[in-house]
Amino acid sequence: MDWKLFASTFAAIFFAEIGDKTQLATLSLAAGGSSRWVVFAGAALALVATSAIAVVAGEALSRTIPPLWLKRGAGALFIVLGVLFLVGARE
């Protein structure tokens, strides 16, 4: 197992998810629900399912597009979205 890849993936997802709308929705459901374990299981399964979709899509794309270009494209998309969010926040 590639522990460096595992650790960097864990850290990236963990810190990206802290305080986002998904976590806040889960917090709200747990506060208002009757079973915290059901909310935890549902939220965990949803995160696993979306991660599985991303992994399958990433593998499929890497078969036709070199990984370097995928990284560049993802970086450019993050920059574009960041600029759009900053511009939208000013309005």
Which residues span the domain enclosing 48? 3-65
Q: Do the domain assignments include residue 85?
A: no
Asked, for residue 83, whether it belongs to a domain, the answer is no
- Per-residue pLDDT for 16 more than 90? no
Query: What's the pTM?
Result: 0.69
| In a domain? residue 71 | no
Residue 29, in any domain of the structure? yes
**In this structure, is residue 77 part of a structural domain?**
no
In a domain, 28, yes or no: yes
Q: What share of the chain is helix, strand, coil (3-state, %, to 5)?
A: 90, 0, 10
51 CB-near residues (< 8 Å, 6+ apart) = 13
Determine the average pLDDT of the residues in 46-59.
93
Is there a domain that residue 20 lies in?
yes
Number of domains in the chain: 1
91 vs 2: which has the higher pLDDT: 2
Q: What is the pLDDT of residues 19-36, one digit of tens each?
A: 888 888 999 999 987 889
- Looking at residue 19, its pLDDT comes to 80
In a domain, 47, yes or no: yes
